Amino acid sequence: DGGITQSPKYLFRKEGQNVTLSCEQNLNHDAMYWYRQDPGQGLRLIYYSQIVNDFQKGDIAEGYSVSREKKESFPLTVTSAQKNPTAFYLCASGIEQFFGPGTRLTVL
Amino acid sequence: KNEVEQSPQNLTAQEGEFITINCSYSVGISALHWLQQHPGGGIVSLFMLSSGKKKHGRLIATINIQEKHSSLHITASHPRDSAVYICAVSPGQGNLIFGKGTKLSVKP
């Protein structure tokens, strides 16, 4: 089945640690996106990539990093520089925005 | 002022009612998206449109580019339609700008 997957579903990390969130798609989409959602807030764009080996910062890129070495994969690293990382992270692919199930990150 | 405004923020309806959710935006766009977010957090893309009207089952989306306005209509609403409906616009650089969402609750 074609789709977009994110792992893990829930993630806990200690303050000061980097953590990488996985996003994989087999829909053959060129475009991939990372969003952050906080309670009561709209989705905000962290990074997006329109083609392999290229990506652009979104509205809230500080404290995050990405790579796009393969068309299928667009991992997001939440670094220790991100001051308030607890949030729901959503990955999407394609210009029509097919979303993955999301990862809930909690910093302890 | 947000670039994408949705109204109403919250909407309660009785099963069977016709529902309208509105979206106004202030930037030039190449496309507008309507998304549905279920209580568990998963997001489904409902429509992507750049002109006119699209219909899928009981859902209808319209857009007026001149007036920078879009509406999402649900006919014969059902409790399973209860969700947050999100409007997002694509200014054309590959990124998206999101509204804060409309929380719909349909009572049996």
Q: Residue range A46-68: average pLDDT? A: 95
Q: What's the CA gap between A97 and B5, in Å, rounded?
A: 20
| pLDDT surpasses 70 at A64 | yes
Q: Average of pLDDT values for B75-89?
A: 96
Interface of A with B in 1-30 (CB under 8 A): none
Band the pLDDT of A82: cuts 50, 70, 90.
confident
List the single residue in B with minimal CA-CA distance to A55: B94
pLDDT digits (tens, 9 = 90+) for B20-53: 999 999 999 999 999 999 988 889 999 999 999 9
Q: To the nearest whole angstrom, how far is the Cα of B78 from the nearest Cα of chain A? A: 24
pLDDT tens digits, one per residue of A25-34 = 999 999 999 9
In whole angstroms, give the CA distance from residue B96 to residue B94: 7
Chain B nearest-CA residue for A42: B100
Q: What is the pLDDT of residue A42?
A: 84
Looking at residue A25, its pLDDT comes to 97
Cα-Cα-Cα-Cα torsion B45, A38, A25, A54, nearest 10 degrees, comes to 110
Among A29, A37, A43, A60, the strongest candidate for a mutation testing the B interface, having the largest count of B CBs within 10 A, is: A43
Contacts of B99 in chain A (CB under 8 A): 42
Q: Is there a contact between B48 and A97 if contact means CB atoms under 8 Å apart?
A: yes
The dihedral formed by the CA atoms of B91, B92, B97 and B103, expressed in degrees to the nearest 10: 90
